[in-house]
Every structure is written in C-alpha cells, then in structure tokens.
Amino acid sequence: MRTVKVDTPGGQTWGVRVVWQPRWSALVRRFGAWRRKRKGETSSGNDLSGCGDLGGCGSGDGDLAAIMFGIVLFLVGVLLFWFVLLPLLLLAVDIIVVALLLLIAIPARVLFRRPWTVEAAYDDGQTEQIFSTDVVGWRRALETRDDIAAKLQQGFPVPIVGTLRSRLSGPPVES
C-alpha cells in the first residue's frame, strides 16, 4: 500500500500507511520445494550388449559420430529444460497461485469484515517508533491514514492522533 510521508513541525519524518498483515504467519511462509523420494532402480535382466537381429554390430565411424551427436543433443536438451524451461514453468505456477490467493483473500477479507491495520512509523536510525490501529473497511482505513497524516503534519503528538497502539510497548495509548 502507498505510504504517505509526513514532516512534523519538530522535523521528524513519519510514514503513515495501510498494512494488510496476515493473521497466521504459518499460512504465509513459503514452504521448501516438494521433493519426490528417489526410488532405487532395479535392473530388468535385459542384456543389450549383444549385436541383435536388426542391424548387426556396427563398427564404423558414422555410428560413433551419431552416438556422440545423440549424447550431446540429449545433454543440451536436459540443460535447456533444467535452466530455462523448468524455472519459467515454476514462475508461471507461482504467479497463478498468488493470483488465485488474491482472488480468494480480498473478497473473504471484505465479506468477513477483517480490520485493516493503519500504521504510523518513525525511524531516525537510532530509535524506531511504530504506532498502529485497526480499522474496519478499506475506505475508512484510507480516510484514517490521511487523517493521521494531517494531524501529524499539524503538530499533534502521536498518542493524541487516534487510538494508536505502540508496537514496542503493547498496551493501547489513551487519546
């Protein structure tokens, strides 16, 4: 979401934004790649070392060149698949999953009236102050963000701005 940067009369720069933080961090964590367990292959008992009935045991240089060309072609195909096609396929799957999750999550959030978090943050390199409040409704959250930004710009102290809670101290600050 867009962060509104505000300079207070005291010279502090605050960032006020609407944050959509998931309630369950376990749902957001990306799990590692799923890997299939490799099963040991057993030999089928077929011995292909004989010459066979269809072509004999060729011993010419043409056969060796064809075999080498086949091996090189196979290796190029494997490398192309591994380094180009597979990453593109995984990227496409990731994009589809994210799009589906957004298509499900945004209407669910609106229908179940989950609150949006409006956050005012200040960081001067030595100390970080973060104040937040929960607001139901997207438009109301944007209005609250703009209201907090306007009050900070006018010089109101942060705890007076609204029912903001400090993330560092925990309990709500009375307004």
pLDDT one-digit tens code per residue, 19-44:
876 554 434 444 433 333 444 444 44
pLDDT one-digit tens code per residue, 83-113:
999 999 999 999 999 999 989 987 887 788 8
Average pLDDT over the chain reads 75
Cα separation, 72 vs 88, in Å, equals: 23
Give the angle subtended at the CA of 115 by the CAs of 100 and 158, to the nearest 5°.
130
